[in-house]
Amino acid sequence: MMTINDYLKLFDEGKLTPEELLESCCSKIDPDLNAFITVTKERARNAIGSVDGKIRGIPVAVKDNINVKGVPTTCGSKILKGFIPPYSATVVERIEKEGGLLIGKTNLDEFAMGSSTENSHFGLTKNPFDRERVPGGSSGGSAVAVATGSAIIALGSDTGGSVRQPASFCGLVGLKPTYGRVSRYGLVAFASSLDQIGIIGRNAMDVGILLVIIAGKDPLDSTSVTVDVQDYTDLDGSLEGIKIGIPEEYFIDIDEDVLEAVIEIKEILQDVGVSFPSVSLPTSEFVIPTYQIISYAEASSNLARYDGVRYGLYHSGVNFSDEIRKTRNDGFLSEVKRRILVGSFVLSSQAIGEYYEKALTIRSLIKKEFKDALDKVDYLLTPTTPSPAFKIGERFDDPLKVHLSDRLTAGANLAGIPAVSAPAGMSRNNLPIGYQLMGRPFDEKGLLSIVHQVEKIKPFELLGE
Amino acid sequence: MEEFKPRMGIEVHAQLDTTTKLFCSCPVAFGEEPNTNVCPICLGLPGVLPVLNKRAVELAMRVAFALNCHLHKESRFARKNYFYPDLPKGYQITQFKFPLATSGSIKVDEKIIRIKRLHLEEEAAKLIHLGDKTFVDYNRAGVPLVEIVTEPDITSAVMAVDYLKKLQKILQFTGASNAVMARGEFRCEPNISVSCEKGKLGTRTEIKNLNSFRAVKRALKYEIKRQKKILQEGGTIKQETMRFVEKAGVTRSTRSKEEASDYRYFPEPDLPPLLIKEEWMEKVKRSIPTLPEERKKRYIELGLNEEDAIIIANSKKASNLFDETIQQLDEPLEISKWIIREFRAHNEPNISPTSLASLVKMVIQGSISRIIGSKVFSMMVRTGRTPEEIVKEKSLLKISDKEALTSVVKEVFAENPEEFKDFQNGKSKLIRFFIGRVMKKTKGRANPKEVGRIISEYEQKH
Ligand SMILES: [Zn+2]
């Protein structure tokens, strides 16, 4: 499988030019899949050759909730109509400084709220493996862009699984780094204490190459940390003797195909000397309710700024209350409205003790449970989702089903630990299946090393290869 | 007849004197073109994050120490959520459950007023209403504020104003705030209740729109009277926010729905807890300039009378000038007179302690007269030049040369033959008349003692 380093080698040898690669990527953009909201081919072309960095000439797609100066940010919403950010996110600046070419802004569930990329003002995105199915979400556009080869690698954001779940539905590697590892400056906030910018790539090496670039302390993000950035491309360290826990709670109500695929990954790793003690995470059943309360509460506050006064959609009215009501009623889709309503409720003085404060307490229990488990073992192995990609419309606008596929991923966000999803195989009906690894804070290198070595033993066939 | 006793607490918002805003690096300035000191952060654009201004924390710490507060080593920021066009993010970043400091105290009119809490928060934008349109100026959005809340320990309108004046001085002396009320840098919202049962608080009202100490006093007096009257007539006080109508001198209900609002406070996830280490605390403590009370004490020890000591100690500029000048010239009494008479008469101008010291020295040594000295002071203020330069250029040094003065005296005698005759005939009172004439002729430069000696020689000769 081609890595970014292979492309750079082809450039150096004169066998391929960045212009040709960009052209080839753009030609693979399929309007029917609807992965992009904005294609910035001109911007990418103009950037070719301007800097000589670690990813010079490599086309990168960016989820459309991450700001790129001068290019509209929509967040998949009508409410940001006409908004063009006057600044770039720190991650975007770092990518451009290393010669990355920004090829476009990808589709997402409105404000990253969803798991299917169906809840977008700009239409739904389809799964390239089966166009009747969703690509996962909310970073569905980024996953489809990479899966189809219209970008070599992409940025997403992961609040409860929004990078890992679409990566697993599209046969890709999706990394959610440790909270604070990557600056959030310029990422439009959904739930600030859970949001983390992540990477979707075709292999562990590519993800590692991009992580080296975007990781590290940013003075503009007070929650980013000073912990040393490791060499995430040095992925061949021996796995012998490491311990990977199998939390039993994460194997309940899982599709048979998924179970089999994950067990196969376990067997591959056993062969290279990894041991698999069983561990227990009894608070798992509280992950989704806790995640819902905290993320909705923060979202209700984060989305309050869209009032039409300074930017975006605006409807006039008889007074401010009337204007804001009209603007927000027209600007947001129903899933976002539902979360704002519930979020406002759980913070209200009559409900905060019963909901929000309780959720904070449970969150700290969940966090502690992960820490205790990861004191005993080095990593945790689970499926990424209980089933492969579901059908378009199957869970659309159904508040009871919307979090079904976040159940195995949101725990890492609540605990702030790093997690990765990587291809485990294909289901009987030819849909990609993903396995998830979670690790100790700042051990992204360890996670990517395991994925990298599994790739070598069990290569995954990509669509666009 | 039952006696109704008023109880008041006051919430003060003071603007911290930083060069940049609380969470971004935009400059803090007054009176600039609207929306010129703004950036994506203080405009609340999508994707921005706050970064705390350390200087603002230090200034708030100074106030906390000056008010004998308990400063918390760990405090937190919270979001106060509500919709208003002057609030760019739809929430204000403030401190709620875990404020920077609590439980302080301040002595006013020989009574202790307890300080309940002190915390940091950001300012909102300014709304400008023109015709049927409303405009928003975000220059003020994100300016750092310190909020200081007292317990309901204030028992009269006079005491309330005395507290505010004292707090204002503390803010100014610690360098935390300019605290100019007219510029909105010092705002207060008192709450009042009256009750006849000892130790029990009545239903309270809050008063807004108080733009001067006079207004505070008038509003409180009115509100106390209003509440007493209602209670005496058997009515009940409604908990509400009142607005002071300056022209009419009355408080009126705002009838705002604000009472019903629920701010949905929760911890600000974009800012880690504010941790203050011991060393930082000590460093800030050491950097606090001394407060008026301590200064007054020291001045009295230097020999100033109490009245003068208070006048100088109560002005930060005057007392700084005094302190620095006495470092250079050990004449505290004389210097205090110059500060009280000249410096204050000139509206506390910017003059250097070195200049003041050399001016006072010239007067003490007799090289210029007091009257000339006062003129030199005015010129120093006007031109910004040193007293030496002024005196030299304008040839203001006293004339003590006997020969030169004798010739002027003779001229004066010649010009006033009648008076001279009377003088020689024993009307010695006329000596003052002659000295005055000589002084006038020499434009005040003559040494009057020397002139008197010369004139009296003529009397004796007779
Ligand atoms: Zn700013």
Q: Are A28 and A84 part of one and the same domain?
A: yes
Q: What is the pLDDT of residue A451?
A: 98
Token representation of residue B300? 């009295």
Domain tally, chain A: 2
Q: What is the pLDDT of residue B27?
A: 96
Q: Are A138 and A56 part of one and the same domain?
A: yes
Token representation of residue A200? 């979707």
Q: What is the pLDDT of residue A465?
A: 44
Q: Specify whether the CB–CB gap between B60 and B120 falls below 8 A.
A: yes
Indicate which residue of A115, A138, A142, A157 is catalytic: A138
Q: Are A351 and A229 part of one and the same domain?
A: no
Domain ranges of chain B: 5-280, 290-394, 402-461
Q: Are A342 and A443 part of one and the same domain?
A: no
**Looking at CA atoms only, how far is residue A124 from chain B in angstroms?**
23
Partner-chain contact B271 A219, CB within 8 Å? no
Nearest to A296 by CA among A446, A134, A160: A160
Strand-pairing partners, residue B375, are none
Partner-chain contact A222 B81, CB within 8 Å? no
- The alpha carbons of chain A give a radius of gyration, in whole angstroms, of 21
- Length reported for chain A: 465
Q: What is the pLDDT of residue B461?
A: 56
Q: What is the pLDDT of residue A462?
A: 63
Q: Are A85 and A176 part of one and the same domain?
A: yes
Q: What is the pLDDT of residue A235?
A: 97
The span from the CA of B192 to the CA of B205, in Å, is 5
Partner-chain contact B269 A193, CB within 8 Å? yes
Q: Which helix (H) or strand (E) holds A420?
A: strand A419-426
Q: Are A205 and A82 part of one and the same domain?
A: yes
Q: What is the pLDDT of residue B200?
A: 77
Partner-chain contact B269 A192, CB within 8 Å? yes
| Chains A, B: CB pairs < 8 Å | 101
Q: Is residue A316 part of a domain?
A: yes
Partner-chain contact B45 A311, CB within 8 Å? yes
pLDDT < 50: residue spans in chain B: 462
- The residue type of A309 is V
| Multiple choice CATH, B402-461, 3.10.129.10, 1.10.1060.10, 1.10.10.410, 3.30.420.130 | 1.10.10.410
- Neighbouring C-beta atoms of residue A102, cutoff 10 Å: 22
Check CB contact of A89 with chain B, cutoff 8 Å: yes
Q: Specify whether the CB–CB gap between A123 and A180 falls below 8 A.
A: no
Q: What is the pLDDT of residue B235?
A: 87
Pure H helices in B339-397: 344-345, 353-365, 370-383, 387-393
pLDDT in tens, chain A (465 residues): 799 999 999 999 999 999 999 999 999 999 999 999 999 999 999 999 888 899 999 999 999 999 999 999 999 999 999 999 999 999 999 999 999 999 999 999 999 999 999 999 999 999 999 999 999 999 999 999 999 999 999 999 999 999 999 999 999 999 999 999 999 999 999 999 999 999 999 999 999 999 999 999 999 999 999 999 999 999 999 999 999 999 999 999 999 999 999 999 999 999 999 999 999 999 999 999 999 999 999 999 999 999 999 999 999 999 999 999 999 999 999 999 999 999 999 999 999 999 999 999 999 999 999 999 999 999 999 999 999 999 999 988 787 777 888 999 999 999 999 999 999 999 999 999 999 999 999 999 999 999 999 999 988 866 544
Q: Are A65 and A132 part of one and the same domain?
A: yes
Q: Which helix (H) or strand (E) holds B307?
A: helix B306-313
The span from the CA of B397 to the CA of B406, in Å, is 17
Q: Is residue A265 part of a domain?
A: no
**pTM reported for the whole predicted model:** 0.86
Q: What is the pLDDT of residue B457?
A: 83
The span from the first CA to the last CA of chain A, in angstroms, equals: 8
Q: For residue B141, how far is its CA from the centre of ligand 1 (angstroms)? A: 8
Q: Specify whether the CB–CB gap between A421 and A445 falls below 8 A.
A: no
Partner-chain contact B88 A187, CB within 8 Å? no
Q: What is the pLDDT of residue A8?
A: 97
Q: Give contacts of B79 with chain A, Cβ < 8 Å.
A: 301
Check CB contact of A321 with chain B, cutoff 8 Å: yes
Q: Is residue A251 part of a domain?
A: no
Q: For residue B409, how far is its CA from the centre of ligand 1 (angstroms)? A: 72
Which of A328, A362, A396 is a domain's end point?
A362
Question: Which DSSP letter does residue A66 get?
Answer: B
The span from the CA of B197 to the CA of B101, in Å, is 31
Q: What is the pLDDT of residue B443?
A: 78
Q: Is residue A207 part of a domain?
A: yes
Q: Is residue A259 part of a domain?
A: no
- Length reported for chain B: 462
Token representation of residue B64? 């906390």
- Chain B residues with CB-CB distance to A under 8 A? 40, 43-52, 79, 81, 83-85, 88-91, 136, 262, 264-266, 269-272
The vertex-B48 CA angle with A72 and A103, nearest 5°, equals 35
Q: What is the pLDDT of residue A415?
A: 98
**Looking at CA atoms only, how far is residue B67 from chain A in angstroms?**
30
Is A63 a known active-site residue? yes
Q: Are A59 and A173 part of one and the same domain?
A: yes
Range of the domain at A303: 283-362
The span from the CA of B166 to the CA of B156, in Å, is 15
3-class SS letters over B138-165: HHHCCCEEEEEEECCCECCHHHHHHHHH
Q: What is the pLDDT of residue B232?
A: 87
Best of B41, B43, B45 to disrupt the A interface by mutation (most A CBs within 10 Å)?
B45
Indicate which residue of A63, A126, A176, A445 is catalytic: A63
The span from the CA of A156 to the CA of A147, in Å, is 14
Q: Are A348 and A386 part of one and the same domain?
A: no
Is A391 a known active-site residue? no
Which of A362, A394, A414 is a domain's end point?
A362
Q: Are A118 and A199 part of one and the same domain?
A: yes
Q: Is residue A137 part of a domain?
A: yes
ipTM surpasses 0.90: yes
Check CB contact of A75 with chain B, cutoff 8 Å: yes
Q: What is the CATH number of the domain that holds A415?
A: 3.90.1300.10
Q: Give contacts of B46 with chain A, Cβ < 8 Å.
A: 67, 73, 75, 80, 83, 85, 188-189, 305
Q: Is residue A46 part of a domain?
A: yes
Q: Are A357 and A384 part of one and the same domain?
A: no
Compute CA distances B117 → B59, B406, B458, whole Å.
15, 73, 77
- The alpha carbons of chain B give a radius of gyration, in whole angstroms, of 30
Compute CA distances A63 → A117, A194, A465, B171, B357, whole Å.
12, 17, 23, 48, 68
Q: Answer positive or negative: Cα dihedral of B373, B378, B383, B384.
A: positive
Partner-chain contact B266 A301, CB within 8 Å? yes
Q: Are A45 and A168 part of one and the same domain?
A: yes
3-class DSSP assignment, residue B109: coil
Torsion of CA A175, A180, A181, A185, to 10 degrees: 90
Partner-chain contact A320 B83, CB within 8 Å? yes
